[in-house]
Every structure is written in structure tokens, then in C-alpha cells.
Structure 1
Amino acid sequence: MTRIRLLTAAVLVVGVVAGPSALPAAAPAAPAAVSSAVSAQSPNPALEAAIAGLPTADATAALVRVSGKEGVWRGGSGVHDLRTDRPADPAARFRAGSVTKVLTAAVALRLAEEGLLDLDRTARSYLPDLLPAAYKNVTVRQLLNHTHGIPPAGFPATTVEESYEIRFQVHDPRAMVRSATSKPPEFAPGERQHYLNIGYTVAGLLIERVTGDSYERQVARRVLKPLGLGDTYFPGANPRIIGPHNHGYQTMRLDDGTVGLRDVSVWGATDAWAAGDIISTTADLERFTRALFQGRVVRGPLLEEMFALPKATDFKTGEPAAYSVGLSMKVLGGREVWGKTGGRWGYNAAVAATRDGSRTLVYSVNSTDAKGQAMNKVAQDIMVATYGRP
């Protein structure tokens, strides 16, 4: 029988500075003595090393699940919170950010299979009261593969500190769409690809329009309940993570003017909605990923939409498009890896798999730089340890 036990690391004692939610930046911890017992069939020292020694300046906790025909590995490291130094909870819920887009895309494709949505039909034909004539040619597929040309919605904050001040503000998806579409298109539909949340905000509203039901209930009915994903839910306007969770921390300027870590576990996610507000666990997301790649969530030709990159170039870099419907693709270790990363303040997450499902990966990293320009180092090390370098 495969033996799996939690991989734990020694914790770093951290002092408290002024304010109930402000903590000094964690100094890099010395490499910890790691106790591990991974799958007897496939031990992975590289994965052990990737998450050993937490908390560090980059992350306070990490949870990892690897599965598939190439072997099984489970691991966790770090702390539940920096005040108590309790070990990280391996069953913790976390904010999965843009991994939400995979579920949104899956539901849209299911509706296309049922004839309720047509990927080649314009989004405006479904939402004529919301989308103006300037966006009359944007199709449903273009919303889902980020080639729509709709600019981002206006947002009142530009820094993490400003975002923290308005973290409880509730955002209405229709208002966000109106804000975005009041501006001219970035490009003609289908010509370029610009990864943004706004296309999935419109997609969530499309799901509601064609079903006459809420977006959240449709995802629950078509994905969460059939797969038994009991620890996955949409928070709505509740800024708290319900149930067990490891605290998230973000590096920012504190009240006394110094730069350190602030506990950002309580933070509203209505600005992301259908593009990025889901809360889940590594076990649930692993089950979802395996079912998706096995064709048990989206079936037949429509599943191929998730593995088809549009013939477009990136809006910023000019490189070939990297995003399909719901997923993105990178070549790692000489093979295509499909998946989706996500980031909310204090949390990074990802689901990934080879096309044949021979190796799947799910991770949650409590990143202190969750929305940084570069990929979090711990998350990057996990990806490389699982699949190899680009």
C-alpha cells in the first residue's frame, strides 16, 4: 500500500510589530530537517527540496499533490500562521484565484454541448443590454481564449497598499463590464491575445443569462456536486475563508512606514468573481484536474477547445498565443504541460497536467508576493521539480 504522510518543516519564530495584522518580513529560514515519506513507488527528492525550509521570505506554507501514471507524491511544508508557528494544515482551503477560469470555461463548454451557448455566436447577441456596439463582433469563444479585445475594467487602486484599504469593497460584475466597455477596444477581435479577467466576467454573466440561474449554482450543479468537490465553494461577498485554512501574508508597506508582512487572509474577492474567486483544496482540485483531462467534465470535440491555442499573438510581447479556452500551455521538460495558475493576495495556486494525464500537479503556495511580476520562487521550484525546466 502506498504510504503518504505530511512533509513538515521546522518553523521560524517571528516577532510581532505594531498592529494586529502586521508582521515583519520573514527572513529566509535555514534549510530545515525534513521528515518525508512519499509514495514508495515514486519518491521525489526534488519536490521535497522545493518546499523544504518554509517559511521563508517567499512563502509561509506550501501544499503539493502529484498524481498520474508516473507516480503519486504528497507533501506540505511551512506554518498555519506566523503567530503560533503551528504546522501547515494539509487539508487547508485556500484562494485559488484564476484557477476559477478553468471551471468557468468547463461550464460554458458544457452549455455549448447542450446547445444553450454557441461559441461562434457573438456575446452581444446574448447580452444586448450590456455590451455596446463597439464590441458587437466579439464571440463567446474569444471571451474564453482572451482574444476579445475588451480592456480591463477601471479599478480604484494601483498598489497593494491601496488595494488593502478597499479590500472589503463589493464589486458588481455588470458595473465592471460597463466600465471596461466604455473604453475603446484594444484590438479587433481575434487579432491578438491579452490575458485579462474581464472576458470571464462577461462569460459568467452569459452563463447566468442562458440558464436563468446564478453562475455559482451552475458551477456547483455541473462540476462541483457531480465530482464530489465538497471543499470547493464561491465566497460571494464574504471576505473570510470558511473552514480550515493556512493564513496568507503579503509583503507591503505597514502602518509605521516599514515594509513587512501583513496577514491578508481576510480579503474580499468580488472583483474577480467568475474569473478568480473560488476557494478550494489541493485534494478537490486534483480530483477536478484528473476528471477534466480524462474527458469526464467536458466531453468530445468541445474538450479539444481547451487544448487549442488561437492563431494570434500576445498583445504585449508579440509572442504566439499561450492561452486556450480555460487553460494555458508551456513546454516543460520537453513536453507540453497544460494548466492554469492563480493568484490572490497571499495565495498562489495551480493545476497542471500533461495532455495524456500521465502526470498531474496541484499546488497551493502561501506566497508573500502573490501578484508579483515574476513567478513566486517556491511555486516555480515545484513546477520545475514536477515537470522539468522550460
Structure 2
Amino acid sequence: MGTTRMRRVVRQVAVAALATTLLTGVAESHADAGPDRADLRKALQETIDSGFTGIQMRVRDQQGEWVGAAGARELGKAEQPPKDGKFRAGSATKAFVAVMVLRLVAEGKVGLDAAAADYLPDLGMDRRITVRMLLQHTSGIFNTTGEYFPGGRYEPGIPWEGKAWVDNRFHTYAPEELARMALSKPPRFAPGTDWNYSNTNYVLARLLIEKVTGSSYVDELQRRILGPLGLRDTVAPEASPEIAEPHAHAYYKYEDAGQWQTIDVSRQNPSWVSQGGDMISTTEDLSNFFAALLGGKLLPAPLLAEMIKPHSTPDPAMGYGLGLEVRDSGCVGTVVAADGGVQGYGTLLRGTLDGGKIMAASLTFVDADVAHAPVQAEQQAWQRLPREAFCGGQ
């Protein structure tokens, strides 16, 4: 998801002074793999200096493949993040889900502009909502984590921030439970008339995949994407709170009885976000996935074109297609993005249209309540790192 939309799931980088106080010292970046890229090494270190805890990044382009890392694997310790570490990829998950649905479209099992209710008849969905609308966030369906309506009215959803989420972070939600809760709430707008980022759309896409195929989402993911591409370090954890080693740690700062607490939230039950952003992956796996997708190995050309075509309602400048965002790099033309984040983890995944240049990065930080976390460091990192990777700092 983009910089502004990421704050619906990731609540900005915490105060830089907190990270500086808790770290025993920020070391120089890892001895990098691949060609020497002083520009990228500098960008990583400056990202850490701005208040992030750790970062790992992989860039593939005409110079070869470069892999680097900087910062700390854990607060208060000097060990650096693993360059091949696993991380919670957040909304980068949506690109995988969209590909799976579009493969069903290619097989003639799903109609992209058919009513989603045709495949999920038991949920009482508005028949004006199409499969395309789910994938491009134009359905108007309420977001499971809550919605702000015009005029400032807020309709709460499930807990996803503050002490309420911390106390609830190992609770299990069934996908159908999330879907029914969201569908019981008022829609944000009439289907197809506007755009609003809603994780519910991808919970419904997951249920559609299972209904149409007759098998589990996890099995279909393995059969259709992970197995064929050899993505051995990517998993859909469902309700498991575990994240395999090696991995960098993520943190969350919240208020409890008037006192601010910082806890490690690397372990959490991601079923609250479901296929809106539950995936665990690595920079290598995400890079391989993007190379295959943009290289035409996962979808027929017409459907790949649909995936990267921004919606037209009401403002195509938003740049969201079907599970992907499309942006102007400023130097190499159009780039495709599948960013994401969950508490304390941020993901950047970018590639040129031909897959010739790809960047994948994972950042870890002390996530915090929006009132206590400046947005500047987040905004700078989400702009700076792709610029360095694709434009060499231009």
C-alpha cells in the first residue's frame, strides 16, 4: 500500500530518540553482497539514523544483484538484521491474492466483472459488487479495522491498535467472521462510485478462491505460486503467531494506565488482517515473485495489463490497479508497487514494467500510536529508498 494508505495498518515510525536510546549503537551496514553500491549503503544507514530499528534490502538491475542491511536486529543489541531474514510483509500479500484470483479468471472459473455474490452466495453481498471491485478497492465494503465516514463519523471495527490490540494480539479471527462483521456495517459508498482501501476486499477474495477451487487458500497458494516459483521462505501463517528464524524484531509502543510501554510484537496472530496482509516472506522471495509476475510467467498478458491498469473511479491518479499500485519513478518511467506493513514491519516492493529492475526491502521500527509518532521518517524512507534503487539518487 502507498505511503498514506500504509498508515491505516502501520502507525508511523516512533520517535527517533526512543530508538536511539534503546539501541546500543548503530553499526555500519553489512558487508554487502553483489556489486559495490555506496549510494545504497548510504541510503540504508541514513534510514536507520532517521529512527528505524533495522533494514534489509535487495536490488536487481543491470549492475547485478545487491543485498545489504543496516541497523539492529533487536533493540538494545548490536547484532545487525539478517540480509536473508523473514518478515511480515503486510499488504504485499494482496498482490499474491490478486494473482490467484486472476489465474482463476484465466481458467474461465471466475468472471472478473461478474458479481462476487455469484461465487459467495451465502454472505448476502450487494450484487452490484464485482470481483474486479474487490481487487481494486472500489466495492465500498467496510474495512474490518474501522472506517471514517464523511463528516468525521467513525465506525469501529476489530481492535488493531493501542492497548486493545496488544491485549488481543493472539486472538484468532476466522476469515468468514471478519467478512460477515464487515458486511453487517454500512458501506462506505455505492459499489463502483469511489475508491477506499479496505482489507475486507481481500478477505472476500480469499473466500472466493476457496469456494471456487474447493480447497484451502494455503494449498492453492502453494500449488499456484509458491511451489512453481520455488518460494520456500514465503508462508501464509493463518492463525499461527510464529515467525521462523532468522528475522529482525518489530516493536510497538502503547499507553497503559498513563504509562508508555514498548513491547516486541514480532510474534502476533495475524488472522486479524487475514489475506489483507498476513504473509511472511523474504526479500529474495518477493523479488523472485515480482520478476515472474512482471516477466509474464504467472498471468496471460491481457490479465497482467488489467492488474497494472489504474482504476478510473473517481481519480485514476490514485494509481491502484488489481492488487498493485502504479507510479511514475521520475527516472525510469512507470514502476509497479506492492508495499505493505503491519505493526513494526514495513515492506517496499517495486519493479519496472519489464521486471528488469526490482527492489525489495523490509524495515523494522518501534510502531506507535499516531499521536506519538512523526510521519516524516516514514515518508522520507518510502520516497528515498526507491529513488536510490531506481534513479541513483536523481
TM bucket, shorter chain: 0.7 to 0.9
Cross-structure match for 1:221: 223
What is the CA–CA distance in structure 2 between the aligned matches of 1:269 and 1:77, rounded to whole Å? 26
> What stretches of structure 2 of length at least 5 have no aligned partner?
1-16, 145-155
Matching of residue 271 in structure 1 with residue 264 in structure 2:
no
Cross-structure match for 1:68: 61
Equivalent residue letter for 1:194: N
Q: 1:7-46 residue pairs with structure 2 within 5 A?
A: 25-27=18-20, 33-34=28-29, 36-37=31-32, 39-40=34-35, 43-46=36-39
What is the CA–CA distance in structure 2 between the aligned matches of 1:158 and 1:87, rounded to whole Å? 29
What is the CA–CA distance in structure 2 between the aligned matches of 1:243 and 1:230, rounded to whole Å? 13
- 1:212 pairs, out of 206, 211, 214, with 214
- 1:325 pairs, out of 322, 339, 343, with 322
Equivalent residue letter for 2:388: A
What is the CA–CA distance in structure 2 between the aligned matches of 1:45 and 1:333, rounded to whole Å? 21
Matching of residue 346 in structure 1 with residue 347 in structure 2:
no
What is the CA–CA distance in structure 2 between the aligned matches of 1:330 and 1:231, rounded to whole Å? 28
The structure with the largest helix share of the pair is: 2
Cross-structure match for 1:363: 361
What is the CA–CA distance in structure 2 between the aligned matches of 1:242 and 1:371, rounded to whole Å? 27
Deviation at 1:293, TM superposition (A): 0.6
Distance 1:54 1:191, change over 3 A: closer
Deviation at 1:25, TM superposition (A): 2.4
What is the CA–CA distance in structure 2 between the aligned matches of 1:224 and 1:105, rounded to whole Å? 14
What is the CA–CA distance in structure 2 between the aligned matches of 1:36 and 1:145, rounded to whole Å? 40
> What stretches of structure 1 of length at least 5 have no aligned partner?
1-23
1:312·1:321 contact (CA, 8 Å) conserved in 2? Answer: no
2:134·2:205 contact (CA, 8 Å) conserved in 1? Answer: yes
- Look up the SS of the partner of 2:223 in the other structure: helix
Superposition CA RMSD, Å? 2.5
Deviation at 1:47, TM superposition (A): 1.6
Cross-structure match for 1:386: 389
Matching of residue 139 in structure 1 with residue 110 in structure 2:
no
Identity within the alignment, %: 35
What is the CA–CA distance in structure 2 between the aligned matches of 1:269 and 1:365, rounded to whole Å? 18
What number of residue pairs does the alignment pair up? Answer: 358
- Look up the SS of the partner of 2:359 in the other structure: strand
- 1:244 pairs, out of 235, 243, 246, with 246
Q: 1:48-197 residue pairs with structure 2 within 5 A?
A: 48-52=41-45, 56=49, 58-69=51-62, 71-132=64-125, 135-153=126-144, 155-157=157-159, 159-197=161-199
2:91·2:338 contact (CA, 8 Å) conserved in 1? Answer: yes
CA offsets 1:77-122 (integer angstroms, 9 cap, x no match): 1222124422211111110011000000000011111111110110
What is the CA–CA distance in structure 2 between the aligned matches of 1:159 and 1:302, rounded to whole Å? 36
Equivalent residue letter for 1:328: E
CA offsets 1:171-210 (integer angstroms, 9 cap, x no match): 1211211111112322222221111111111000000000
What is the CA–CA distance in structure 2 between the aligned matches of 1:31 and 1:245, rounded to whole Å? 18
1:151·1:180 contact (CA, 8 Å) conserved in 2? Answer: yes
Cross-structure match for 1:21: none
What is the CA–CA distance in structure 2 between the aligned matches of 1:119 and 1:384, rounded to whole Å? 34
2:28·2:71 contact (CA, 8 Å) conserved in 1? Answer: no
Distance 1:295 1:50, change over 3 A: same
Deviation at 1:367, TM superposition (A): 2.5
2:30·2:68 contact (CA, 8 Å) conserved in 1? Answer: no
Deviation at 1:260, TM superposition (A): 5.5
Deviation at 1:244, TM superposition (A): 1.7
2:161·2:369 contact (CA, 8 Å) conserved in 1? Answer: no
Q: Which of 1 and 2 has higher RCO (CA within 8 Å, sep 6+)?
A: 2
Cross-structure match for 2:335: 337
Q: Which moved more, 1:47-56 or 1:332-341?
A: 47-56
Distance 1:93 1:158, change over 3 A: closer
Distance 1:105 1:89, change over 3 A: same
CA offsets 1:259-302 (integer angstroms, 9 cap, x no match): 46321111110011112101011111111111111011112211
What is the CA–CA distance in structure 1 between the aligned matches of 2:260 and 2:368, rounded to whole Å? 16
2:137·2:201 contact (CA, 8 Å) conserved in 1? Answer: yes
Q: Which moved more, 1:150-159 or 1:60-69?
A: 150-159
1:67·1:359 contact (CA, 8 Å) conserved in 2? Answer: yes
Q: 1:250-261 residue pairs with structure 2 within 5 A?
A: 250-253=252-255, 257-259=258-260, 261=262
What is the CA–CA distance in structure 2 between the aligned matches of 1:73 and 1:34, rounded to whole Å? 13
1:237·1:270 contact (CA, 8 Å) conserved in 2? Answer: yes
What is the CA–CA distance in structure 2 between the aligned matches of 1:54 and 1:145, rounded to whole Å? 31
Structure-1-length-normalised TM-score: 0.84
- Look up the SS of the partner of 1:193 in the other structure: coil
Distance 1:239 1:56, change over 3 A: farther
What is the CA–CA distance in structure 1 between the aligned matches of 2:198 and 2:162, rounded to whole Å? 18
Distance 1:357 1:170, change over 3 A: same
